[in-house]
Amino acid sequence: MQYTPWTIRSEDFTPEKRQSLGALFLVSNGYFGVRGFVEEDPTGEMGNGCIFVAGVNGDGADKREIVEGKRRDLCNITNVLRLRIAVDGEVVDGIADTTDAYRLLDMKTAVSSRHYIWKNALEVDTLRFADMANVHRIGQRTVLRAQKPLSLTFHALLDSNVYNHNFESCEPMPIQPGLNHIVSRTLGDNRLSTRLDDEDSTTLYAGQQLRLCLNGTPLNGVPYADEMATGRRFDVTMDAGDELVLEKLAAVYTDKECPDAADLLDAFMSTPADYAEAYAAHCAAWEARWAIADVQLDTETDDQTALRYNLFQLMGVCPMHTDRVSIGARGLTGEMYEGCVFWDNEIFQLPFFVFTDPAAARRLLAFRYHNLPAAKRLAAFHWFEGAMFPWESCEKGREQTALDHAYYSIHIVGDIAYAIRQYVQATGDLAFLWEKGAEILLETSRFWVSRVDYSKRDGHYHLFRVRGPNEYDHYVDDNAFTNYLAAENLHIAVDTLTQMKTAAPEQYRALCEKTGFQPSEMDKWNEIAGNLYVAYDEELHLVGEDSTYMDRRPLDLKRAKPTAKRILESGTMTYQMMTFYQLTKQSDTVTLMCLLPEKFTEQERIAAYDYYEPRTAHDSSLSYAPYAWMAARLGKVEQAYDYFKICAYLDIADLKLNTISGLHFANFGGTWQATVFGFGGAQYAEGVLRIDPHLPDTWNGMRYRLCVRGGIVSVDISGDRIQLTADGLTEDLPICVGGQKALLNSELTTAEFRL
């Protein structure tokens, strides 16, 4: 792998790597996820998928116990980028008989390309982009240069010969027989419609517009169709030095997100598309996003590239076109986790959008609002009150995971409340709060009231039998993470409804009517929030991960996890044994203290870090970033940087050997937080923007931007000099840099500090 600040490049086309690189070289635009598959490979072996569309799920290849509905996998849709190349009757598959072969991902323009020379006869360059300016489109440009006289046959196709795989774990595994989910289809010149065998019987409409030129002269070709594919065929005789250029725009609409999908495809097909114009608009859209989201590092390491990769994929995965889908655990990069939405969204990814693309953040939270009725049904199913958001939410808000997860992993409820407050505080978007947020806060508070138990014996409220971020316990009592987030949820709800009564009285009345809310309910909310039990060791100033963690026996982690393999795959311990030891699967209490630093003293945060860090197996990709973040905040910069080297490079270096099954989007968001909140030292709370950077030795400086209260604040750190520049502020923004207070507003746009 070779890096430049904006690109990654790989020359590895070995079968083992081809599929994991297929995930790595993915380009996406929130509607499409287009894996880095080889378009001209005729084996039909699509790696772990070729193209996914957000929210389009077919029947899964296997079923498992779920609360409602059945398992639905993210579908491989029609391959709209299919190429077939043959020279003098011989197939060019993009892999065999190639020299000078490489892939390149340009993150600045979000273009994934390949280059190779076939048998010293044909030079091939091909690129694709998922159009960020018009998310229903994918662009493809292929250049074929003859190095000797040859006869070329070239197909540009829409191909329905795709299938889904069967993932049960995130381990790399050979491709298994999958289900071809396409039930019916219509073949026509450059159009293909297919019906997916999902509960909605989704129909997918795909079309393409082509322009093929030989040395600048357009060629027509002939229509082509076979059992599985449709498109156009070109037979070309080329001399040495001849150049054939295919420019293609493909479009996809489904009647799941567009009731008028057929008409939309008609409109696309009937209006000649200009590839160059589309490409330019796509690049401009990405330029605008990078202008805010980029984090620039002054370093001679590859960290700049690695970090940008994280941000690049986050921007790519975020739905721009709708608030009816959200970001799945593996985004649009693979079938794993069924395209479903976890706490990853609120706790790991959302902050990046809150502070670099607030409109996107609003859509992601609106997704939860739309699923509030489903969350209320889930609560009722379990004999609880209010809204119980599912641990693993399909796009319709239904629980899609095994019952144990569904029932115990309730911190997701508090995570959503936390995210609402973070969004509203950072943006000042009270309209969202009154329209949607308040109702979520109210119904989730009711859930907590019904979920806690009061113990007369100790005078505390408890959350018995929960599964915290440390999923190596079947369940525990009083997981500190869960209890703190639950208490926050209740506090935020009280604050919100109290404020709403006077600030938005009509909406408040409507909400009371809709929900039957009585202000007296808040007495209970306050009582519970103020009295939820958390285990605490006074001597060590140590917050207990749960009620008995500190009493459990120490574990020799080297015995349990002798290699990088996760413990359960190491064959050293059974799942049952794990629950017996001081063993944390992934950052738990430390993540809590990242989220709510003001609730803990520095002594407590240090104690927690020092206690839990050696007890953490990091058997989840969600573990490293919070440790990097917390370590940086505590000034343990060297340790922080060690963790950064894992989380920032997790997928591009395939450190967990499971990139094949999709990219780790929570980790991407965590990496941004570790970088900006950790090393960059940014913290926005209670109306004050605080900056307390702790840069690694190898970084001479860094620059990042934050969207705050409608403005954009640039933070430029260079050695001991910190400069803040604000743009678009309409109100005063108190800032505090290294303890020095100042104010930014529309007049005072710059402030400089020395540490």
d(CA 76, CA 73): 9
Closest CA to 51 of 111, 138, 109, 124: 138
Shortest distance, position 474 Cβ to a second copy, whole Å? 6
Closest CA to 94 of 144, 59, 50: 144
d(CA 637, CA 91): 54
3-state secondary structure of 319: coil
Query: In the complex with a second copy, which residue's Cβ is closer, 257 or 478?
Result: 478
d(CA 702, CA 720): 11
d(CA 151, CA 153): 7
Shortest distance, position 400 Cβ to a second copy, whole Å? 16
| Strand blocks (E) in 215-326 | 217-219, 222-225, 229-238, 243-254, 296-299
Whether the CA torsion 296, 641, 21, 3 is positive or negative: it is positive
- Phi, psi (degrees; rounded to nearest 5) at 275: -60, -45
Query: In the complex with a second copy, which residue's Cβ is closer, 467 or 656?
Result: 467
Bridge partners (DSSP) listed for residue 186: 193
Query: In the complex with a second copy, which residue's Cβ is closer, 233 or 552?
Result: 552
Shortest distance, position 409 Cβ to a second copy, whole Å? 11
- Phi, psi (degrees; rounded to nearest 5) at 91: -75, 130
d(CA 676, CA 722): 14
Q: Are strands 699-708 and 688-691 parallel, antiparallel or unpaired?
A: unpaired
Closest CA to 369 of 321, 417, 447, 436: 436
Shortest distance, position 337 Cβ to a second copy, whole Å? 21
Catalytic entry in 471, 488, 545, 613: 471
d(CA 419, CA 377): 22
Q: For residue 427, give the H/E element and its range.
A: helix 411-427
Query: In the complex with a second copy, which residue's Cβ is closer, 472 or 508?
Result: 472
Please give the radius of gyration of the chain, using alpha carbons only, rounded to the nearest integer.
Answer: 27
Q: Which residues contact 499 (CB under 8 A, 6 or more apart)?
A: none
Query: In the complex with a second copy, which residue's Cβ is closer, 465 or 524?
Result: 465
Shortest distance, position 580 Cβ to a second copy, whole Å? 6
Cα 491 from chain centroid (whole Å): 28
Shortest distance, position 730 Cβ to a second copy, whole Å? 49
Query: In the complex with a second copy, which residue's Cβ is closer, 97 or 477?
Result: 477
Query: In the complex with a second copy, which residue's Cβ is closer, 395 or 399?
Result: 399
Query: In the complex with a second copy, which residue's Cβ is closer, 551 or 697?
Result: 551
Shortest distance, position 481 Cβ to a second copy, whole Å? 19
Shortest distance, position 462 Cβ to a second copy, whole Å? 7
What tokens appear for 336 in the block?
A: 């794993």
Shortest distance, position 550 Cβ to a second copy, whole Å? 7
Shortest distance, position 508 Cβ to a second copy, whole Å? 32
CB 408 within 8 A of CB 348: no
d(CA 207, CA 38): 20
Residue type, 2: Q
What are the b/e assignments for 383-407, b being 16+ CB within 10 Å?
Answer: ebbbbbbbbbbbbbbbbbbeeebbb
Shortest distance, position 454 Cβ to a second copy, whole Å? 7
Whether 488 is catalytic is: no
The residue assigned the tokens 């993540």 is 591
Query: In the complex with a second copy, which residue's Cβ is closer, 455 or 746?
Result: 455
Query: In the complex with a second copy, which residue's Cβ is closer, 44 or 562?
Result: 562
Query: In the complex with a second copy, which residue's Cβ is closer, 109 or 401?
Result: 401
Q: Which residues contact 547 (CB under 8 A, 6 or more apart)?
A: 476, 477, 478, 533, 535
What tokens appear for 287 in the block?
A: 């330029």
Interaction site with a second copy (CB under 8 A):
382-383, 403-404, 406-408, 453-457, 462, 464-465, 474-475, 477, 535, 537, 548, 550-553, 573-577, 579-580
The alpha-helical segments, DSSP class H, found in 567-707 are: 567-570, 575-578, 589-595, 602-612, 624-633, 637-647, 665-673
| CA distance between the termini of the chain | 38
Query: Residues with catalytic annotation?
Result: 471
